[in-house]
Structure 1
Amino acid sequence: MLKVINPGIEVIVEDWPGRLGYLGKGMAPSAAMDNVALDLANLLVGNPHGEAGIEIAGGYFEAEFASNTVISITGTDMQPTINSQPVPMWESIAVSKGDKIKFNHFGNLGFRSYLSVAGGIDVPVYLDSKSTCIFGSYGGYQGRKLQAGDIVNFGNPTRDLNNLKGRKIKKEAIPEYAREWVLRAVPGPNTCPDYVTEEGMNYLFSNAFKIQHSSNRSAYRLQELKEGFFAREDGGVGGSHPSNIVDHAYAMRGALNICGNTPVLLIGDGPTLGGYMCVLSVINADLWKVGQGTPSRDYIRFEMCTQEEAALARRAQRALFDEKSLA
C-alpha cells in the first residue's frame, strides 16, 4: 500500500492502452500520456505489458509505503528521493514499510514521471481499463486525481521480490527526451486542396509550434496558424469559420484538430467527435512524446509519415518492452 502525503500537481492512476472500444459512446481512451515510460517501468518490476502505474505530471508528489515491495521510476527526472536520499531512475528499487518517497518538479527535459510497483495498482477495472478519465470522473482511483490521505493498494507480485530488485534498462533502450519533439504524422482526413492550402500543409510540416500553457490531458494546444492556411473563406453549412465542418468523429488518439486558428492535438481524455477539421494524425509510436512535452516551454514539429512506416514504428516500439531491454 501507498499512503499519499502530498498529491502534487496532477497524480493519477493510468494503464495502457486504456479504455478502447468506447469512442462511439463518447468515452475517451484516457491511459498513460507516455506509454513508453510506463511500460519500461512495468518491465523493471515484472508486471505485464500495460499494467497500471502512477502518472506524476509536473511533480511534488510525496507518499509513504505501508508495505515492503519493489518499485521503479521512469520518465522525466524529478530528482526522486526515498527517506531524503536520491534514488536511481530506470532501475528497480526495493522499498520497505515506512519508507517515504518524494518527487521534485519536472526535469530539464520532459514533464511526466511514472511510478510502477511490483504487482501493479489495485483499483477496479472499469470498461476494460484501470485508467482515470479526470474529465469524466471515472476509472482509476475513484475517478479523480490522488489526494492527501488516499491509500493506494498494490496487486500481488507474480515474481519473487528478491529477483526483481536491481534490474536496469539498457542505456540504448531509454528514450531520448528533448525540448523540440518531432512527431511523425499521416495527413488527413481534412486536408488540401479542399480544406487547407498546399502552402498551409507545407507550413504545418516545416515549422516548430510552441506548446501553449493551457494544454492538458484532453488536448495539447499549439501556437496559432499563420494567414493563408485555409483553402476556403468559411465553413459553409458547418459554420462561419473555415475550420468549421459538419460534425464527425475524431481519430483519437493523435488527431490534430484545428479549432479556429489554433492547432490542438487531441490525446488521452480528448473529445471523440465535433465540428472542427482534423488535418493530420500523429502515429501511435510517437504519442508518448506528446505526454513529455512541457507546456509554455517545449515545441512540437511534425514530420510526414506513411501508414506503412507508422505500422513498422509501432511494431518496433512494442519490441522494446521485452527482457532484452534489461541490462
Structure 2
Amino acid sequence: MMETKNETTVLEFVLEEFHVARHLGKVLFLVHLLLYLASVLGNTLIIAITWIDTRLQTPMYFFLRSFSFCECCFISTVIPKLLSIFLFGDRGIHFTPCIIQAFFFLFLGSTIFFHMAVMSLDRYLAICKPLHYPTIMNPRVCFLLVFFSYALSFILITGIILKLSWLSFCGSRIIPHFFCDLASLVHLSCSDTESLERMTFGVALLVLFTSFFAAVFAYSNILISIMHLPSAKDRQKAFSTCSSHLIVLSLMYSSCVFIYAKPKQTSRLESNREAALVNTVVTPLLNPVIYTLRNKQVHQALRDALTRVNLQK
C-alpha cells in the first residue's frame, strides 16, 4: 500500500476466502483440481477429435472447436488462483494481475456468448435452410464469424477495463470474491463509478441478449420446421442435434443473467460468488459431457480413434 498525505492507495488486493476452506482447504483443492483437469481434458478432447476426424470438418464442429478452446482459456483465468487459495492460503493479488484477470475473464466470457449466438444461427441454417447451408456457411464465413466474436468482445471489454483501471482504490482492499470480479472491484473503488456501472450494464445486456435473441429466433424457427417433418424419426433426429446446445444455453444464462444483467453491480455480491462458482467450475465441465454423450458422430469418431490406437499397439 502506498500512502500519499492522508490518502492510502491500494496496490494489492486480498481475495476473500471461503469460510469452509479453513478446515477443508486440501479437500476443496483436490475436488476443484479434479474438476478443472476433467474440464480441460474434456474440452481438449473435443478440439482434438473434431480437428483430426475428417467427418467432423463441418461448420458445426468448427464452431464447437472454437467454443471449447474459449472454455479452456476461460476457466484457466480463474481456477489456478482458486487452487492456490485452497492449498496455500495465497489470497493476495497485485493490482495489475488483478486487472488482467478481470479483463480475460470478461473478454473470454463474452466471446463464449457470441459463439453461442453463432452456433444457434448455424443450427437454424442447417435445419431450416439445408439447400443454401453449404453456400452460406463456407469456410471463409465461418472464420469471419469466429473472428468477429473475438474482435467485438475485445472492443467492448477493453473499454470497460480501461475505465476500471482509471478508478482510485483506497481504504478496504478485500475483494469479496475468489477472483477479481468486476462488481467487487467497483464496490471497493472510492471514485465515482456511476458511468462505469451504466457502461457495464449496457455491455452485459448487449452480450447476453444478442445471444438470447439469436437463440430464440433460431430455435423458434427450428421448432416450426421440425413440427412439419413427415416422420417422427426425422423429428427426433433433428431435435437431437439441437438439444445439447439448448442445455448449454440454459446453464450459462441461469448464472450469467443473475450476475451481470442488473443495473446496480454492487448489490448481492455474496450471492454473485456462488453463481460465479457454478459458471466457472461446473458449466465448463458439463459442456464436453453434454456435447459428447449426446452426439453419435463424436461417439463414432472416438471409437475409430481408439481402434487406430489399439491397432498401432
TM-score by length of 2: 0.24
TM-score by length of 1: 0.24
Higher helix share: 2
Larger RCO: 1 or 2 (CA < 8 Å, sep 6+) = 2
